């Protein structure tokens, strides 16, 4: 028998002994629950004045003769609890030998300071609230294996308090963004995750089947097309925290399931959203961190407006020495890409090649917040053309620490132009592009009823979480990131 299984069996034997004492090891309620307070609150009480009632997980156990010292931890902190035979109720004293680190207990008793000066609770009453059957990892060595931490996040949260702190900060980031947008007059909405047709960006979808409707469906790659329908329907400022799914690879900055916040703003254009992005990022940093100056993986970043602004063509010229404004054919673009060792696929035109070259030569230099704007129409089928340069569109992306954080454009609302753009995407699909945008007839019908000038911005929330919590991997800011199935374990059992 494996050592872990032996320890588990010992705990199961204790569980049976607890039941024989007439104690329910998994009670539905606790008679002191209405008096329970957080450990942090109990620590502020006057010594010995009145009972302290707390509950939490046992995380330490030290026996000194007839006195037992234990550490009890709840969401707010840790406190030492002390068990003395002459102070405990008889049934509680009988329970003590059957307790283990990891068990949840509720205790009531008086606060005092030990001879060593540590604030403690002298326990009078003890209730077992949940018996733990598996031993926790060693507190000395903790839970350090990265794969194990992600796979068993619950253990990671128990053993590594800084991880829990990071996720608490992530919650504050979401709350601050929501607060900013609501203060700006936006209303929060919900749109479908399960869609009859995917769209809103260029990405491969996950497919599924809707049995009740007897039809193929897709997990959304974006909520954009639905938010635009709401603008067409009369809303003027909407936003949504949208869990999106893109059937793509995994790396430090990508997970197939991720959180995006997207807005739509009637009567606005992409320049309005440039200002919004600067102000919103700075507001969130101030609210959560108390400053716009952030240190990320050794880089000092200042989110205070104004940010640097460059066209994509100018960025490639600045960092790669190539002027794409002078390139007139795909063959010229392909030749430049080959010289720069940039991979080019058959479905790429000049616009796609420009973006690949930008990704290779310019993106890594954009450490301080930068707005890269005016993207080629080939890669931006839902954007309005730049009035004096229709090969390019009124689109920008936010770059910080050499990574893209957000995407915005002046939304195309000419239904005939949109149809032509969709048809161009269809031609790309025929050439083998797996990410080209399908034609969405229902969306085009909505646009034919009319949508006012509109601009939206989408922010990749995990990347913002990474920046503001100094995390070096997207998996550090997701409770349960996508992982390969664990070897030796049937995923269906």
Domains of the chain as residue ranges with CATH: 3-130 (2.40.50.140), 159-307+368-477 (3.30.930.10)
| pLDDT of 148 above 50 | yes
Per-residue confidence (pLDDT) for residue 493, from 0 to 100: 44
| pLDDT tens digits, one per residue of 437-475 | 888 899 999 999 999 999 999 999 999 999 999 999 999
Higher local confidence (pLDDT), 493 or 477: 477
Please state whether the predicted TM-score (pTM) of the whole model is above 0.75.
yes
**Band of the pLDDT at 356, cuts 50, 70, 90?**
very high
Per-residue confidence (pLDDT) for residue 284, from 0 to 100: 98
| pLDDT of 435 above 50 | yes
Per-residue confidence (pLDDT) for residue 462, from 0 to 100: 98
Per-residue confidence (pLDDT) for residue 147, from 0 to 100: 83
Per-residue confidence (pLDDT) for residue 3, from 0 to 100: 85
Average pLDDT over residues 211-221: 95
Per-residue confidence (pLDDT) for residue 44, from 0 to 100: 86
Average pLDDT over residues 473-478: 96
Q: Return the bridge partners of 258, or none.
A: 244
CB 39 within 8 A of CB 72: yes
| pLDDT tens digits, one per residue of 276-317 | 999 999 999 999 999 999 999 999 999 999 999 999 999 999
Low-confidence winner among 198-202, 207-211, 212-216 (lowest mean pLDDT): 198-202
| pLDDT tens digits, one per residue of 410-431 | 999 999 988 988 888 888 888 7
| pLDDT tens digits, one per residue of 357-366 | 999 999 999 9
**Band of the pLDDT at 180, cuts 50, 70, 90?**
very high
Low-confidence winner among 26-40, 122-136, 424-438 (lowest mean pLDDT): 424-438
Rounded Cα gap, residues 486 and 493, in angstroms = 12
Per-residue confidence (pLDDT) for residue 489, from 0 to 100: 62
CB 357 within 8 A of CB 312: no
| pLDDT tens digits, one per residue of 247-276 | 988 888 999 999 999 999 999 999 999 999
Rounded Cα gap, residues 176 and 285, in angstroms = 9
| pLDDT of 178 above 70 | yes
- What residues contact residue 93 under an 8 Å CB cut-off, 6+ apart? 83, 85
Per-residue confidence (pLDDT) for residue 103, from 0 to 100: 98
| pLDDT of 492 above 60 | no
C-alpha 278: how far from chain center: 21
Higher local confidence (pLDDT), 429 or 24: 24
CB 82 within 8 A of CB 67: yes
Per-residue confidence (pLDDT) for residue 67, from 0 to 100: 92
| pLDDT of 129 above 70 | yes
Token code pair at residue 446: 């909505």
Rounded Cα gap, residues 50 and 52, in angstroms = 7
Percent of the chain with pLDDT over 70: 97
Higher local confidence (pLDDT), 116 or 70: 70
Per-residue confidence (pLDDT) for residue 424, from 0 to 100: 86
CB 412 within 8 A of CB 419: no
Higher local confidence (pLDDT), 219 or 46: 219
């Amino acid at each position: 028998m494996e050592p872990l299984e032996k320890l588990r069996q010992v705990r199961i034997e204790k569980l049976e002994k607890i039941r024989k004492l007439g104690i329910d090891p998994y009670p539905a309620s606790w008679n002191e629950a209405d008096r329970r307070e957080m450990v942090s609150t109990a620590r502020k009480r006057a010594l010995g004045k009145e009972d302290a009632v707390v509950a939490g997980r046992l995380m330490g156990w030290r026996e000194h003769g007839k006195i037992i010292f234990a550490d009890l931890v709840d969401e707010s902190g840790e406190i030492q609890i002390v068990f003395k035979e002459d102070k405990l109720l008889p049934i509680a004293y009988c329970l003590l030998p059957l307790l283990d680190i990891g068990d949840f207990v509720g205790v009531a008793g008086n606060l005092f300071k030990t001879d060593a000066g540590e604030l403690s609770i002298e326990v009078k009453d003890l209730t077992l609230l949940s018996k733990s059957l598996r031993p926790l990892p060693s507190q000395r060595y903790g839970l350090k294996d990265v794969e194990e931490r992600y796979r068993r996040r619950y253990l990671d949260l128990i053993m590594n308090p800084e991880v829990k702190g990071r996720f608490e900060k992530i919650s504050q980031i979401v709350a601050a963004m929501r607060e900013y947008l609501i203060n700006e007059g936006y209303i929060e909405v919900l749109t479908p995750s399960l869609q009859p047709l995917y769209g809103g960006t260029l990405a491969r979808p996950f497919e599924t089947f809707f049995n009740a409707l007897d039809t193929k469906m897709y997990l959304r790659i974006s909520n954009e097309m639905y938010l635009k329908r709401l603008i067409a329907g009369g809303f003027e400022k909407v936003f949504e925290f949208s869990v999106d799914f893109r059937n793509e690879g995994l790396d430090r900055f990508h997970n197939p399931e991720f959180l995006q916040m997207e807005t739509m703003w009637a009567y606005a254009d992409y320049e309005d959203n440039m200002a919004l992005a600067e102000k919103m990022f700075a507001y969130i940093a101030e609210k959560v961190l108390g400053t716009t100056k952030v240190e990320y993986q050794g880089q000092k970043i200042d989110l205070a407006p104004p940010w640097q602004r460059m066209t994509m063509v100018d960025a490639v010229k600045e960092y790669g020495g190539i002027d794409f404004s002078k390139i007139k054919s795909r063959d010229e673009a392909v030749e430049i890409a080959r010289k720069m060792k940039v991979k080019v696929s058959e479905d790429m035109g000049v616009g796609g090649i420009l973006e690949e070259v930008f990704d290779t030569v310019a993106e890594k230099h954009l450490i301080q917040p930068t707005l890269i704007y005016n993207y080629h129409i080939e890669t931006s089928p839902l954007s309005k053309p730049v009035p004096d340069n229709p090969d390019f569109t009124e689109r920008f992306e936010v770059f910080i620490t050499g990574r893209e954080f957000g995407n915005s454009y002046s939304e195309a609302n000419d239904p005939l132009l949109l149809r032509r753009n969709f048809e161009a995407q269809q031609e790309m699909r025929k050439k083998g592009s797996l990410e080209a945008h399908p034609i969405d007839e229902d969306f085009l019908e909505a646009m034919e009823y009319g949508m006012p000038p509109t601009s939206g911005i989408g922010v990749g929330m995990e990347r913002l979480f990474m920046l503001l919590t100094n995390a070096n991997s997207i998996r550090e800011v997701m409770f349960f990131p996508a992982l390969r199935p664990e070897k030796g374990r049937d995923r269906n059992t």
